[in-house]
Each structure stands twice: as C-alpha cells, then as structure tokens.
Structure 1
Amino acid sequence: MRNESELPGFGATLMGAAVLALAVTLAGGCGDDPEIIDDPPGNDGGQDIPDGGTDGGVQPPPDTAFAAVRFNTNGTLDTSFGSGGVTLVDVGPGTASARETLWSAARDSTDRIVLFGHSKGTDRLDVDRVVVRLSASGAVDTAFGTNGFSTLNLSNLGDNARNGIVQPDGKIVSSGYTSQPTGVGTQASNRVVLTRLNDDGKADTTFGSKGVVNSMPLQPADPLNTEWGMAEAYAVGHQTQSGKYVTTGYGRTAPSGQVDLVSFRYTSAGQLDTSWGTNGTFLLDVVGDNDRGRNLVVLPDDRVFMVGSGTPGAQNVDAMVLMLTVDGARDTTFSTDGYKLFSFGRPEEAFFGAAVSPAGDRVAAAGYLTGGGQDDDALLLLLPVGGGSGTDFVQPVPISESANDRFWAVAFDSAGKAYAAGYLTEGGDNRMIVARFNADGTRDTTFGTGGVATHNVVQAGLEEMARAVIIQSDGKVVIAGTVEKK
C-alpha cells in the first residue's frame, strides 16, 4: 500500500479580472491557429508524456486544423457526414509554436458536436481558447457564437484549453489554464481558467466574471511568501444533483518542484466551494513525486471518477484512477485508498480518457504505455462500479505489435460497449483510429476490421490523432482531433 496525503488547509481563491485586472474578451469569431504540446516545458516541474505526432524528435508541422470523422455502426466510413465522412475546421494560419489543437469534443441533446481547443490569437503568437459547434451531420453551425466559433482571449496571454462538457440544458463549459503574472518581478503562474457559454455560443455572464472563472486556489503555505505555486484544470465535470463543477489536474503551492493531482469545486455561479475536500481543495500525493489528473467523469450519484498518472518510484510513472465521494473525499468503497495504480513494466503509463456507462454501473479509462525502448501501446480499463456486474479489465490493448498506437479518449454506447480513440503510426504516417470493445475487454470484431476502424485524413501526415470519441443517439461514432493541413 502506498502512502499519500491531502492538503491540510489551502482553499482561498482569487477570481479573474478583479484580481489581475485582466482585459477578458469573450466573443465569437475566428482567431488564427496554434498549438502547445501538452504542457509548456518548465511549468510543472516534471516531464510530460509526449503527444502523438512529435515522436522521435520530429518538429511539429507549422499549421493544423480541427477534424471530425464519422463511422457507421459497423465501422465503415459514413460519407453522409461532412464532406465524404470528414469535417475540417480551419480556424486560421498557424506557426510552429502556435497552432490549432483540438483537445476534446462533446455532443448535446440534439447530437450537435462541440469541439474544444485552442488557436493562435489574431495578429499575435499567443494561444486563444476556441469552441466550435457542428451540426449533427458535420456542418459548422453558423448560428453558434460568430459564424460557428466562440473565442476567449485572456489579455493576450497564452491560454491552454483542455477538455469541455455540454450540460443537459445546453450550457457549454470548458476547462484549461493560463500562465499569468503574479505581480512579483517577472514571475508567472498557471491558474485555473473555466468558461461557460450559453447554448447560442455567447458568454454566460452569470458565471464568474463575464462568463470566465480565473482562479488560483493554491496559495503559499506562508502568508508572507509572495512566490506563487500553480494549478491547472485538465477537465471539468458537472454534478447534476448539486449543480456544481469539479475539476481535475495538477498543481503545487511552490514556484517549482513536484506536482500533485489537485481537484477543486466551484458553485454554479463560479465561486470556489470550500466544502469540497479540505477548504475547497482535494490533493493527492502518492509518495512525494509527480502525480497528475488528466480527465474525469461524474457518475449519476455525483461521485467523481478521475484518471491520470501517479509516480510510486523514481522514473516509474503508473496509470492511475481515483474515485471521490460527492464532497471530495477518497471513496474507500472503490478501493482502500480511493485510488488504484496500474503498472505494466514501462517507465511511463497514463490514462487520458474517462467515461461512465449510460446506466452508471461501469467506468472506463483509455491511455497508453511508452518508453523502455518499445513502441507505444494503447491501454484500456473497464471497471464495474456501484453494484455493476462484470469483472475488472485493465491491460494494454495494442492495435499494432510493431508500430506506435495510443488511445486518448473513451466512450460507451447505449448497449454498454466501449469505444477508444487515438492514433496509429504506420510507415511514418499517423492515422486516426477507434476501436470497439465488449464488456470483457475483447475487441468487438463486428466493428471495422478486427474491431478497429481507421481513417487517414491527411496522407503521409506527421500530425493526425483523435482526442475525442462521441456516440450519437443513432449509434454512429464520431471521432475528433487535430490533423496537419494539406
């Protein structure tokens, strides 16, 4: 059993524009295009697992686009979607350091598709948050925001968009973080940034400040210490029974050093909720090394299932899942410590996708293994929860035995089958993939070829990966991600 600790008493929050006097602009319209590969170096005191498309030290392509691809229920390409089965959304021209990057996608009650990502700021090199909505059939919904786009510019600072959700009432919430000045010399610190849009793509001004929550709950332990720590929100979830928002990510109370998985909860109006965890913060430190939250889903009973990675030993990052109670305590009915670590003998293993079944009785996580002189392999977890039937399934599920393949996202259909999406590298070319799995973790060979559907949006492209998978109400499968522009 591994040791851990929770943060003893940090919970104060500083809200948005009122503190840093940021000129927050939330408006529809196209930006241009950027990308920050996972996390900017030096921001978190730890080495992130590299993103797809940059393996082998290859310089990322200078310009990319959002892409959505739809498959029929049998895994064949649905050519009635978009243009021949594919929708490309070009937010604008990019540079090698600032490009369009899609991080997640969600669907609303009418099967419209919402894309979450970031793009190069107009006439600038920093990154702006972008939300795009497509119709159920893949056309850009020009009634949303301005011509289908809603863009957030935080005072010309680089904003790192991450995952987002669509609530049952149609409101759209996105998560992420932005490095901002602390007011002490040249020091800057990552802060949690959440946004909420109304169904029409305009800022919901009842949330935070002008639709934006800009928060730094992890203040220094010493009140006289002016050196700030950092906090990031990789994902946000909505507790439907309370109407509150829960985040997962990672952070620390010092300017440098190791990071811990951190989670905060905010009220429906965007205020830090101090009843969550300890004074508004849940913190998980496995054994004093880097631990990270990457994604989450909220169960029907408002418990929160989080996925990411933990570090039980030097140079050994393990995949991790965590269950929290409705108020941010470790759920010991899930496991003795509330979390589980999984090791498969590789130096870096992590989950990035999370899902809960429609019945709320099973959860899923998707990710990958990398390092150790071997090719990257996809990783899948399926667990019964809350009295659900079935056995635990947690193991690598490589799409190729000789090439790199990774999963980034996972979803359930109405029948309880799991879909995991990501990419496969063959002959130096990445292609989007989605695989369908039975409840016991075996591939459903009635889908695609041997249980896997692939599509090459860009031939011989260095950058092409799916980061999201959505199952529409008719069972059709949409995957979305980032591709190199032709």
Structure 2
Amino acid sequence: MLKIGSMTALLAVLFVFPLIIRASVAGSLDKLFDADGRVTVSNGSSSLGRGIAVQPDGKIVVVGQSNFDFFVARLNPNGSLDTTFDGDGKVTTDFALGPDDAMSVEILADGKILVSGSANLAATGQDFAIARYNPNGSLDTTFDGDGKATVDFGSLTIESAMNILIQSDGKYVLAGRTISAGQDYAAARLNTNGSLDTSFDTDGKVIVSVTPNNDLMWAAALQQNEKIVIVGSATPGTNTDFGVVRLNTNGSLDTNWDGDGIVTTDFAVNNDQAAGVAVQADGRVVVCGTTSTPTTSSDFACVRYLATGALNLNGFGTNGKVSTNFNGTSSDSVSDVVLQADGRIVVLGQTDQNGTVDFALVRYTADGVLDPSFDGDGRVITDFAANSDLSSEGVLQADGKLLVVGSANTGSSIVGVARYHLRTFNIPFDFDGDDSSEVGIFRPPVGEWWYSRSSDNQVLAAQFGTSGDKLVPGDFTGDGKADIAFFRAPTGFWFVLRSEDGSFFSFPFGTSGDVPVPADYDGDGKTDPAVFRPSTVTWFISRSSDGGTTIATFGATGDKPVPADYDGDHKADIAIFRPSVGEWWYSRSSTGQTAALQFGLSTDKPVPGDYTGDGKADVAFFRPSSGVWFILRSEDSSFFSFPFGTSGDTPVPADYDGDGKTDTAVFRPATSTWFLNRTTAGVSIVGFGAGGDTPLPSVFIP
C-alpha cells in the first residue's frame, strides 16, 4: 500500500480526484440501471412507450407502439435487452393494415404476457385489442387461435383499451374508451381463451356515459373486492372535471359509490382531467390528474375518496384535494399514480418549462402533503434528451424502486425507461457518493484513514485523529457522501472532516465513558451525532433536522447498542443486544412500540443490516468461532445461516455493490485481506491494509 507521511500530502491525495456523484436519496435515479438510471429502446423507427410491468424474476416488460404496430420489449433487471425474448429482446405484432397501439401490460401467473390497446380494422374501425405472448416472446396460439383478439363496441366507432386488469379468477377486464357521436367510458371482460364473458353485462361489454356530454377515459384499477374503478374526464357543464365510475363485478354501476356509481370532482373553474387511479388497502381511492388554473398553464392534482365515493375531507390535502406546480408557471400534466407500501403517493407525468418537456414526479405523504424527503422538495424532473420526454406509466419493483416508462424524443421518438430510488439509503461507508460502500481502514498509530474509492478504484488517504479516538464515519453534512469523523471519548468532542471541501468542524456532545452511536434517527438523510451512556443506559441524540436533542432511557447494564432501521420508516431505531441472554430489544420509531426477540449467544457479534433488501434491517449475528452468519428475515421472522469467513476474521458487512442490500463480508487481519460476498456482483477478494489496521465497516460492531 502507498505510504504517505504528512497530513498535507495525505489530504492532497484525498482531494486530488474530486467526483460529483449523486447519492441514492429518495427520488434519485438508480445507477445500477444502465449506469445512469435511464434506458432507451429503439426499434429502428418511431416508437412510443405506454405500459410497463415487472416479472417475478425482476425482468421488465415495456409495451407501446412501433411503426403503428404493438411493440413489446423485455429488459433484464440491469436495463439491457433480454435476448431470450424473441432473440433480440423486442417483438412487434400487427393486427391489421391500420395503426395498432399497445397501452397496457400485465404478467400472468404462468409467465405469459398480456398486452392490451387498440387495433384499426377495415370492417369495424378502431377496436379494443389484446394479445397474449409466451414467455419467449412468441404469440400464444391457445388464445383465440392466433394469440390475438379484438372487441368491437359498434361499427366504425373509435375504441381503445387503455388498461388491462386481471381478476382473481383469471378473467381479463379491459377498460377504455369508445368514441362515436360522443365519448364514453367502456369496459369488456374476456375469458382466458379470449372469448367474451357473457356474465359481464350479458354480452361481455358495457358502455358508461358519465355525463350527457363527452367523457374521456384514461385509467382503471381493481379494488380488493374486484369492483372496477374507471377514471378520466367528464363534462357536466362547459368545462371538464374528474370523472370516477365504479362498476360491480357483473358490469353494472355500483350504487354504493355516491348513490349512482358516478362521481365528478371539480378543482377549479377551468378544465380538469383524471389520468391515474390507485386503491389503498383500506378501500380509499386516490385519483390523480391535471387541473388548469388561471395563474399557471396546468398543475398536478390529486383527490382521495372514501370507499363510499365521498371526498376524504379530513386527512388529505385541503378538503380532500391537493395540487402542485413545478416552478409556479410551468405547464404540468399527470400520467399515472403509484402507491408505496408505507402509504406515500408518487404521481408521475411531465413538466413543460419554457418549451422543454421532461419526465416529472411528485411524492406526497399519506395525508397529501409534499414529501420533503423526496429529492428535498417533493419534486423530481428527469431529462432524456433535448426534446420532449413524456412519461406514461409507473410500477414498483419488489425491492421498492420505481420504474417509469414513456417516450423520449432524440429527433425521433423512442421508448424511455427510468428507475428511481424511493428511499434514502444513507449507505454506510460510502465516501464517494456512488451508492456503494468502500473498502477502507484506519491506521491507529498514525491516525490515517485509507480507502479504495469504488467509483474509480482510486486509493485515497487522510490523516485525522489519534489512536485513542472512536471512529464515527457518516454523512453528517447531507451531501450523500460519508464524512471522515471521530469521537474523542475523554472529552466527548466530535470531529468531522467535510467530504465537500476537506475542512473540518468539531463540537461537544457526550462525556467520558459514552459510546458513540451515530445514525439517521430523524430520517432527513443526515447522520445524527448520538451517544449511549452505559452507566445510566441513556441515549442522547442530536437531531440534525431541527437541532433538538432526544433523550431516552433504553436498555440495562451490560447491553450493547445496535441502532438500525428495523421497521422500515427511514429512521434508525434505538436498539440493544443483551449478550447475557442473546436478546435483541428495539424501540420502533414508527410507532413507539418496543419489540424483543432472542437470537444469538453471548460470544456472537451483532451485525444488523438489510440483507434481504426489503427496506428493513434484519437482526443478524456473526459467530467468530466458526465464521457462520445467522440472519433473521424481517419479512417473516424465518432465519437462514451460512459460512463466510473463518475463526479470527472480523465481520465487515456493508453494501459493496450498491444494490440496496447489506453484503456479508469479512476482513482477515493476518493477511489484510477482504472477502466480500456481494449479493449482486458476486464474491470479491481484495488485499487492502496492513498489520494492526482497523477495517472501517467494523467500527460500529460492539
């Protein structure tokens, strides 16, 4: 290893290769997806992205239009085209000589792919269209004989199936629009063989006139009881309003929905149009769209209804409504809405600012307030190209990341897909902000920090601290990079070396005998200075969000502090491991409730972390005598164990491959060798350090 003596020289090494890298805060692009979080798919001609779905194996199916035919592409989880899908990852399907357009996609339980949209037929005009594909991309000829089916609502009318919904019995509900003398909502239900289901409104089809005037459908969703919610724009008067319809499972209007199955909602005196709908687990319905205003061209707008169709007047926005503009004067429009498991609401669309149109996202808390933890102000803009980029639909992956599909214009239109983080990782030991933890050591005799930057493999070093100091690296400044830092136990002072510019600051927080336990306890993306006082089992936390101090008594004599986010609310929980009985105790920051369990022995090393990638820390320990890891899954409290390491190894768990999961890893002091068991990138063996060095990812393990 390179050895440099002076502090000046060491700091020069540290800052000679500055990088500007965006860390994985909520709302940031996922750099594991095609390196920059964005993928474009071209089919050699103008293409449009409309719908998106994720398979259980993590592969991503996007659909739309290419050269006026159905277009289906499948991506690997990293964003590359999946060549096991029709040889090149792409399929086009022609229904007839006229234009065809795919709008929606669903993955069936058997792995087949169902796509709906419209087909232009010479005999009947533009009809609902549906195609079913085998997992390899070929048409499934057991579906209506050739893998394709159409539904006509009337001769020479214009119809399009905007959404496809899968019932629990396997039947397919197509929801869309029909246009003849006027515009109306429409729905059809098909059996799994492609035939119309005549138990749905007697002929398998239903048309709903929301008002006597033009009504344009945009989106649909199934409730838990399989009633069908259809939304779009309705015209009760001069201007359009949100129009929300609920159908019973037999296709009739549900009179439990506002008395007649129909609700219209006005935001302002101008036009409003609903474009996305999602149903909460409690039955409340979130509908989002666009509202035109006198002061701006248009805004994002959302409304929440109770299960009865009444506005959720208390607890969501103002009187059940909320609207948002991106810069005060921009023209913003909504395409879809997605609900997170924690109740937060992500609305996606586009914003037109001075003629430049880009993907746009807004996140609200469950009560309809802009969420500042989402990119700082609740709003995100993503540019694919210099021309117009239009989003269409979003879907959550199993790991909680958000995929958004749309169209990117690079001179001609191509399919664009972006993937976003929806939670701030605050990845430990990530000194360069590339979403991956670094291999690094502290050399006590000379107070030197050394680490290998994972973004470019540059080795950096700094001299900061002495042999008796407690190492406490963390992102104290909130720039997405871990700051080199230490706690001086005799005085209770903290010293932090800013990652931004190499300057440092210090402050007192604690006293002699305290154990430093820094973590993000308030969920603002910054590491909070904190100490655990063993003599009184008291926790002192300096909250970075408001400058206040939390003081809590939690634990007993002999307990070891093990703070982590055990409940998945983006905040570290106060927690202890009781070696004498192998017990874990933690206080959930989300509810204030205390949980306890027994897992491990007195000689085990507690190593909590999110090993399964569900956003919650798993209770876990490393057994030094055997090199075996034991992990208790937060999802279902089952556990698994495996050997990785040997007697004498030091556990150094961290996220070394940036996939949002804690990787098991060990440092072997005898040879200064790192063994990294990366969940996505595989096993890596790295020589880094020298005799007597302290591996940085071990400093918080009691």
The TM-score, its normalising length taken from structure 1, stands at 0.62
In the alignment, which residue of structure 2 is the partner of 1:78?
Answer: none
What residue number does 2:144 align with?
A: 277
1:232 aligns with 2:232: no
CA positional deviation for 1:457: 1.2
Show structure 1 runs of 4+ deviating over 3 A. 344-347, 383-387, 390-394
1:320 Cα offset (Å): 0.7
Instruction: Return the offset for 1:159.
Output: 0.6
Check conservation: 1:423, 1:464, Cα contact below 8 A.
yes
In the alignment, what sits opposite 2:29?
140
| Residues in 1 aligned to 2:266 and 2:24: alpha-carbon distance in whole angstroms | 31
Which of the numbers 324, 327, 330 marks the counterpart of 2:190?
Answer: 324
> Which residue identity lines up with residue 159 of structure 1 in the other structure?
S
Q: Give the superposed CA RMSD.
A: 2.7
Looking at both structures, which has the greater relative contact order when contacts are Cα pairs under 8 Å and sequence separation is at least 6? 1
Show structure 2 runs of 5+ residues with no match.
1-22, 355-702
| Matches for 1:85-484 after TM superposition, within 5 Å | 137-155=26-44, 157-179=45-67, 190-216=68-94, 218-219=95-96, 228-240=97-109, 242-254=110-122, 258-288=125-155, 289-311=157-179, 314-357=180-223, 359=224, 361-370=226-235, 374-385=238-249, 391=255, 393=257, 394-400=261-267, 402-427=269-294, 428-445=296-313, 446-461=315-330, 463-484=331-352
Q: Distance in 2 between matches of 1:362 and 1:299?
A: 10
The 8 Å contact of residues 429 and 459 in structure 1, kept in 2 or not, is answered as no
Q: Which whole-Å deviations, capped at 9, do the CAs of 1:103-131 have from their partners, x for residues lacking one? A: xxxxxxxxxxxxxxxxxxxxxxxxxxxxx
Q: CA shift at 1:232, angstroms? A: 1.4
Indicate conservation of the 8 Å contact 1:261/1:285, yes or no: yes
Secondary structure at the counterpart of residue 434 of structure 1: strand
CA shift, 1:331, in A, is 2.0
Residue 119 of structure 1 aligns with which residue?
none
User: Which amino acid is the alignment partner of residue 147 of structure 1?
Assistant: D
Change (3 A) 1:277 1:310: farther
Shift of 1:438: 1.3
| 1:195 partner amino acid | A
Report how far residue 172 of structure 1 moved.
1.4
Structure 2 counterpart of 1:126: none
How far residue 423 of structure 1 moved from its aligned partner, in angstroms, is 0.9
What are the equivalent positions in structure 2 for 1:18-97 lying under 5 Å apart? Answer: none
Give a deviation string over 1:424-480, Cα, whole Å, max 9, x none. 11105311011111111111112111111211113222x311111111010111101
| TM-aligned CA deviation for residue 339 of structure 1 | 1.8
Query: Residue 337 and residue 136 in structure 1: after superposition, are their counterparts in 2 closer, same or farther (change >3 A)?
Result: farther
Secondary structure of 1:444's counterpart equals: coil
Give the total of aligned pairs: 326
Deviation at 1:251, TM superposition (A): 1.2
Shift of 1:396: 4.0
Q: Using the TM superposition, name which of 277-286 and 442-451 deviates more.
A: 277-286
* Separation in 2, partners of 1:199, 1:301: 29
Equivalents in 2 of 1:135, 1:361: separation in Å? 37
TM-score, normalised to structure 2, is 0.44
Equivalent residue letter for 2:347: I
Check whether the contact 2:233–2:273 (CA below 8 A) recurs between aligned residues. Answer: yes
Question: Which stretch of the first structure deviates more once superposed, 283-292 or 327-336?
Answer: 327-336
Gaps of 5+ in 1: 1-133, 180-189, 220-227
The 1:386/1:135 distance shift into structure 2, 3 A limit, reads farther
CA shift in 2, pair 1:203/1:360, >3 Å: farther
Distance 1:136 1:325 in 2: 44
Give CA-to-partner distance per residue, 1:87-118, whole Å, 9 cap, x none: xxxxxxxxxxxxxxxxxxxxxxxxxxxxxxxx
Look up the SS of the partner of 1:368 in the other structure. strand
In structure 1, what is the equivalent of residue 457 of structure 2?
A: none
| Matched position secondary structure for 1:441 | coil
Aligned to 2:6: none
SS in 2 for 1:336: coil
TM-superposition CA deviations, 1:164-206 (whole Å, max 9, x none): 1223332211110112xxxxxxxxxx11101111222221221
Q: 1:247 to 1:195 in 2, by over 3 A?
A: same
CA offsets per residue over residues 26-53 of structure 1, 9 Å max, x none? xxxxxxxxxxxxxxxxxxxxxxxxxxxx
TM superposition shift of 1:368: 1.0
* Inter-CA distance 253–342: structure 2 relative to 1 (3 Å threshold): closer
Q: What amino acid sits opposite 2:339 in the alignment?
A: I
- Following the alignment from structure 2 to structure 1, what is the Cα–Cα distance between the partners of residues 237 and 124? 28
Q: Is the 8 A contact 1:320 1:350 kept in 2?
A: no
Q: Secondary structure at the match of 1:374?
A: coil
CA contact (8 A) 1:234 1:294 kept: yes
* 1: CA distance, partners of 2:211 / 2:303: 24
